[in-house]
Amino acid sequence: MRVFLILVTLTCLADAQHQALMDYLERRLLAIEDRISLWHEQTNRYATELREFKQQMVAQIETLDKDKETLRTDLDSVGTRVDRVEREMDYLETQNGAQPCVDVDDKLVEQQVTVVKEKNKAKYAKATDCRDMISNIKAMKILKRVGGPKGMWTKDVGSNSGKVYIFNGTDEDTIYEFGSIRDFTISQGTSMAKTVKLPSPWRGSGHTVYNNHAYYVKEGKELRLIKYNLQNGSVADSAVFPVQDHVPVYSLTPETVIDLAADEEGLWAIYATKETERHISLAKMDANTLDIEQMWDTPCPRENAEAAFIICGTVYVVYNTALPSRSRVQCVFDVSDMVTNDDAPLVYFPKRYGSHSSLKYNPLEQLIYAWDDGYQILYKLAMKKKLEV
């Protein structure tokens, strides 16, 4: 009996020790699990923070790259503007400068003038292979009447946006932008238009819209060309037009001192000066920098001229005729010397009201957007190819 009690006691002790051991192991395992769980949480947090840090660094790097590109663009723009300011200062000094402190060699001045004239006489280097010229007016459509007797309307010549721009008047600062020709046609006046407020009034009706920019003339002490970004609503560039003693381009539209136009070749300026007062002059311009690339004196007279348009580097000047309801292309000047007045077709514009204050050619549609006494008119052109002379 005693032995049995001893065995029972030993068994109970063993069971107690075993249970204690199991409890200890269980506590240790739970502690290890808690620590592993904590390690997992910390690892996940560290991984998340690392990913977020990486994303922030990538975003910062992208921002720095953009800032670097913006800074490079700004520096290029500043360089261009500095060059232009220097040219404008040179131009202004020639207009209002004091007498030089040193004698200038007359022969040297003559040589410089000769170089400029020879450059202007150089053969024009075409930017495209465009050889279209007008054959006749195929059709005419009067859309509606919006605005006063003089103004300009057009599409963006350099893009397929389809937007229509209305410049009403000759001394205003608000452009009316329509989403399409249809919107313009069905709109009650300008009720469906988006208004674009320019920083300064335009002069005349010789504006144009090219590659999302409005180009217009601001008149002050000198003629200044303004390049206005229609997408972000800011002045992209401006430059003094370096001509002396400017006069109206067309005698029947005296408000227009420079007629800007765009065609397949880019941006052009039609103008006139007292030096060539009886005739119209032409300049090819860089649409990006507003620099003048080349200039020509044309044989086209200003007298009785209404407006002009340009197709593939050829200027067509439209004149009023003795016929009460017609205008006519009576003078043609081609910068590539492929078309002369003798080759030019007899083209009549069947105008219905007054005289054209603007004619803007759209090469993408082969249409002329005309403003005639407040009426917006479309002329559909029939074209043919220029022949080598």
User: pLDDT digits over 293-344, tens only?
Assistant: 999 999 999 999 999 999 999 999 999 887 666 789 999 999 988 887 777 7
pLDDT for 351 equals 62
pLDDT of residue 107: 45
Residues 36 and 177 in one domain: no
* pLDDT for the residue 86: 64
Q: Are residues 54 and 130 in the same domain?
A: no
Is residue 248 assigned to a domain? yes
- CA-to-CA distance for 249 and 268, rounded, in angstroms? 14
> Within this chain, do residues 364 and 300 fall inside the same structural domain, yes or no?
yes
Based on the domain organization, do 255 and 370 belong to the same domain? yes
How high is the pLDDT of residue 310?
A: 96
Domain boundary residue, one of 75, 97, 130: 75
| Shared-domain flag, residues 65 and 211 | no
Residue 14 sits in the same domain as residue 137: no
**What is the distance, to the nearest Å, from the Cα of residue 45 to the centroid of all Cα atoms in its chain?**
51
What is the structure's pLDDT at 127?
A: 66
In a domain, 244, yes or no: yes
Residues 54 and 172 occupy one common structural domain: no
Task: Note whether residue 310 is domain-resident.
Answer: yes
* Cα 302 to Cα 256: distance, rounded to the nearest angstrom: 12
Q: Which of 75, 101, 127 is the last residue of a domain?
A: 75
What is the rounded distance in angstroms from the CA atom of residue 299 to the CA atom of residue 316? 12
221 in the same domain as 154: yes
pLDDT at 326: 78
> How many domains is the chain partitioned into structurally?
2
120 shares a domain with 61: no
Give 119's contacts (C-beta < 8 A, 6+ positions apart): 294
pLDDT along the chain (389 residues), means of 10: 69 74 81 84 85 86 83 74 64 48 42 46 70 90 93 93 94 96 94 95 95 92 92 94 90 94 95 90 94 93 94 93 79 87 80 85 94 94 78
Strand partners, 136: 382
Q: Indicate if 56 and 135 belong to the same structural domain.
A: no
Residues 55 and 200 in one domain: no
Position 333 in a domain: yes
Return the pLDDT at 324. Answer: 64
The CATH number of the domain where 202 resides is what? 2.40.128.630
**Is the domain of 46 the same as that of 120?**
no
Residue 107 lies in a domain: no
d(CA 379, CA 170): 22
Residue 93 belongs to some domain of the structure = no
Examine residue 228 and state whether it is found in any structural domain, yes or no.
Answer: yes
Q: In this structure, which long-range contacts are made by residues 89-95, counting pairs with CB atoms below 8 Å and at least 24 apart in sequence?
A: 91/240, 91/242, 92/222, 92/240, 95/244
> What pLDDT, on a 0 to 100 scale, did the predictor assign at position 176?
97
The predicted pLDDT at position 153 comes to 97
Domain that holds residue 27: 1-75
| 222 inside domain | yes
3-state SS assignment for residue 185 = helix
**Single residue among 58, 75, 92 that ends a domain in this structure:** 75
